[in-house]
């Protein structure tokens, strides 16, 4: 008996010693790197994963993400654990320089030590080393000096602090909050920023600003309000709607576009069901920013008029000619293929940037595991002039129960057409052709 007990005990002790072998740790680190979407920023278009070199526009010039492969010469191969965690959670490079906050270290500050160790193991042992020197920024001197960044960091980046679960929420909601506020850095796009560029708040405790939508477009797209607002937020989405959107980039109402496409494609589609559920459940706890938003009410008078062949309303004939084949006369679209425009938060949002942008350039749904069809919305920017696009925007914002009081003018469309992100996609030659035609 004693012998059996002893054998069991030794087995148990040795088992726990290897409970997290380095292989497991590296695997867990890989998963966390997905959750943090490190690859999206640290990989140039067509470049090797994590070797850096992706250009990122800032108000003072272009910066490039850095090589975070374990290459000793050009990457982070000689970073100790402490060097690594300082860069990721505090924005301080091994040289002592402060990083540009394009690296979302203010969010990563809440990542636990345990998760940081797993990430370190993955970047040192699981990522192939790539020898690729970092690119210098295009920012001219004296703006290129980094010491003002240290002042910014001291003022706005939080101290590394252990994440504190809240007592009123269960384990899953707390897990969702840990991911959203931390590694998944959802607030980096979805929380409004101050003039000094910091996110107004970094978590949802006792405020309704967190995740209330970006204050300025990011790469030409507005990141929507993720709070419980009835019209432009997630108030009318069930937990399941949110889960499907995060996992597949589409649900019965909408489909992913703009900067969110990368998030679904490189990060969220790889998360476990439990983590996706945790994120969705946490988002459902966020109270509306504006609790008095009038409730969305469907109205079929425009659809009825169009069915009768009456397209007198401005923008109606453009809609019938160019949009109705996919989004239907009544704006309900085709589930999982062509999003519903009726009651769509993107259309009910005050800021029309995303709506104008998607009409001009179109968009392509990513193909992800479980939803392999990559459906496309064609670009209309080279077929329609600014006035036609403005009419269409006003039409969809005021049909089927959508009521957006502010109207869009041709010059609003012209401004968006001139943005680099839009121009780049349409190609300047096609815009010239259009201008000649007008
Ligand atoms: C939204 C874009 C973005 C994401 C997401 C991102 N990074 Fe970064 N990261 C950057 C940029 C840009 C820099 C360079 C900043 C600079 O040069 O000041 C950087 C710098 C770094 C550095 C410093 C490297 C050095 O040379 O000192 C490390 C380490 C790093 N990132 C690791 C990570 C890890 C790990 C993740 C995922 C958990 C991650 N990053 C996610 C944009 C990003
Ligand atoms: C790189 C910027 C960026 C990051 C990071 C980001 N988002 Fe988004 N997100 C956007 C943009 C832009 C949109 C608008 C386009 C769309 O609806 O697909 C959006 C849309 C959404 C929508 C759809 C809302 C609607 O009303 O249609 C949800 C839900 C969402 N994001 C959740 C998240 C969550 C959760 C995270 C963190 C895991 C996150 N996002 C991180 C940019 C981002
Ligand atoms: C060939 C089919 C097709 C046509 C024609 C079309 N669309 Fe789309 N539309 C799509 C698809 C597919 C998406 C999803 C794209 C994505 O998410 O990347 C989409 C997305 C949208 C969205 C974003 C909604 C959301 O929740 O994701 C709006 C707004 C929109 N279309 C408006 C229009 C308007 C206005 C027209 C007419 C000028 C039009 N579409 C013509 C297929 C089409």
Q: What confidence score (pLDDT) does residue 427 get?
A: 64
Q: Is 36 in the pocket of ligand 2 (CB under 6 A)?
A: no
Q: Is 349 in the pocket of ligand 3 (CB under 6 A)?
A: no
What residue's CA is closest to ligand 1, atom 43?
Answer: 103
Give CA–CA dist 144/136, Å, rounded. 10
Unique residue bearing structure tokens 């350039």: 361
What residue's CA is closest to ligand 1, atom 25?
Answer: 93
Q: Tens of pLDDT along the chain (438 residues)?
A: 455 555 554 544 444 444 567 899 999 999 999 999 999 999 999 999 999 999 998 878 899 999 999 999 999 999 999 999 999 999 999 999 999 999 999 999 999 999 999 999 999 999 999 999 999 999 988 888 899 899 999 999 988 888 999 999 999 999 999 999 999 999 999 999 998 889 999 998 889 999 999 988 988 999 999 999 999 999 999 999 999 999 999 998 899 999 999 999 999 999 999 999 999 999 999 999 999 988 999 999 999 999 999 999 999 999 999 999 999 999 999 988 899 999 999 999 999 999 999 999 999 998 898 888 888 999 999 899 999 999 999 999 999 999 977 899 999 999 999 988 888 887 654 444 444 444
Q: Is 160 in the pocket of ligand 2 (CB under 6 A)?
A: no
What residue's CA is closest to ligand 3, atom 39?
Answer: 323
Which ligand 2 atom is nearest residue 349's CA? 26
Give CA–CA dist 124/118, Å, rounded. 10
What residue's CA is closest to ligand 2, atom 30?
Answer: 226
From ligand 3's centre to the CA of 345, what distance in Å? Answer: 14
Burial class (CB in 10 A: 0-12, 13-18, 19+), 80: exposed
Burial class (CB in 10 A: 0-12, 13-18, 19+), 307: exposed
User: What pLDDT digit, counting tens, does each position of 110-136 carry?
Assistant: 999 999 999 999 999 999 999 999 999
Give CA–CA dist 79/77, Å, rounded. 6
Average pLDDT of the chain?
91
Q: What confidence score (pLDDT) does residue 206 get?
A: 83
On whether the CB atoms of residues 347 and 357 are closer than 8 A, the answer is no
Please report, in angstroms and rounded to a whole number, the separation of the first and last CA atoms in the chain: 94
CA angle, residues 75, 116, 23, in degrees to nearest 5:
80
Which ligand 2 atom is nearest residue 268's CA? 38
Give the closest ligand to the alpha carbon of residue 391.
Answer: 3
Give CA–CA dist 225/231, Å, rounded. 10
Pocket of ligand 3, candidates 248, 328, 358: which has the most ligand atoms within 8 Å of its Cβ, to mutate? 358
Q: What confidence score (pLDDT) does residue 294 get?
A: 87
Q: What confidence score (pLDDT) does residue 35 get?
A: 98
Give CA–CA dist 198/208, Å, rounded. 17
Q: What confidence score (pLDDT) does residue 437 get?
A: 44
Give CA–CA dist 91/109, Å, rounded. 9
Q: What confidence score (pLDDT) does residue 360 get?
A: 96
The pair of three-digit structure tokens given for residue 31, joined into one six-digit string:
């998963």
Q: What confidence score (pLDDT) does residue 257 get?
A: 96
User: What pLDDT digit, counting tens, does each position of 187-232 carry?
Assistant: 999 999 998 889 999 998 889 999 999 988 988 999 999 999 999 9
The pair of three-digit structure tokens given for residue 96, joined into one six-digit string:
């002592």
Give CA–CA dist 298/275, Å, rounded. 34
Looking from the CA of 288 toward its CB, the CA atoms found within 13 Å total: 16
On whether the CB atoms of residues 223 and 189 are closer than 8 A, the answer is yes
118 Cβ contact partners less than 8 Å away, ≥ 6 residues apart? 25, 26, 28, 29, 32
């Amino acid at each position: 008996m004693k012998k059996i007990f002893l054998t069991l005990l030794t087995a148990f002790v040795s088992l726990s010693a290897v409970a997290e072998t380095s292989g497991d740790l590296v695997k867990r680190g890989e998963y966390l790197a997905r959750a943090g979407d490190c690859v999206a920023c640290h990989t140039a278009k067509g470049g090797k994963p994590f070797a850096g070199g992706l250009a990122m526009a800032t108000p003072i010039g272009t910066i490039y993400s850095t090589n975070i492969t374990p290459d000793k010469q050009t990457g982070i191969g000689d970073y100790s654990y402490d060097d690594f965690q300082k860069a990721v959670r505090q924005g301080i490079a091994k040289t002592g320089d402060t990083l540009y906050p394009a690296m979302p270290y203010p969010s990563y500050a809440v990542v636990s030590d345990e998760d940081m160790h797993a990430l370190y193991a993955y970047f040192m042992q699981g990522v192939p080393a790539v020898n690729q020197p970092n690119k210098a920024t295009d920012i001219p001197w004296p703006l290129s000096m980094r010491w003002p960044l240290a002042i910014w960091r001291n003022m706005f980046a939080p101290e590394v602090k252990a994440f504190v679960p809240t007592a009123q929420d269960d384990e899953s909601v707390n897990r969702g909050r840990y991911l959203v506020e931390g590694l998944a850095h959802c607030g980096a796009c979805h929380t409004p920023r101050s003039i000094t560029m910091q996110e107004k708040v970094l978590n949802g405790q006792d405020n309704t600003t967190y995740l209330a939508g970006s204050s300025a477009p990011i790469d030409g797209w507005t990141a929507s309000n993720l709070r419980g607002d009835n019209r432009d937020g997630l108030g009318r989405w069930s937990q399941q709607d949110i889960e499907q959107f995060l996992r597949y980039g589409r649900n019965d109402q909408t489909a992913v576009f703009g900067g969110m496409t990368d998030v679904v494609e490189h990060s969220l589609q790889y998360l476990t069901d439990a983590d996706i559920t945790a994120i969705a459940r946490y988002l459902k706890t966020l109270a509306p920013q504006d609790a008095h938003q009038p409730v969305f009410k469907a109205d079929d008078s425009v659809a009825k008029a169009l069915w009768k062949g009456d397209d007198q309303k401005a923008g109606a004939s453009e809609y019938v000619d160019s949009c109705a084949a996919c989004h239907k006369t009544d704006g309900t679209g085709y589930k999982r293929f062509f999003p519903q425009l009726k009651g769509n938060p993107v259309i009910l949002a005050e800021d029309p940037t995303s709506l104008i942008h998607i009409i001009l350039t179109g968009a392509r749904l990513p193909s992800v595991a479980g939803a392999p069809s990559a459906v496309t919305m064609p670009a209309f920017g080279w077929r329609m002039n600014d006035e036609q696009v403005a009419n269409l925007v006003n039409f969809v914002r005021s049909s089927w129960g959508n009521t957006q009081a502010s109207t869009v003018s041709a010059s609003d469309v012209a401004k968006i057409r001139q943005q680099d992100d839009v121009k780049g996609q349409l190609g300047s030659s096609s815009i010239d052709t259009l201008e000649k035609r007008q």
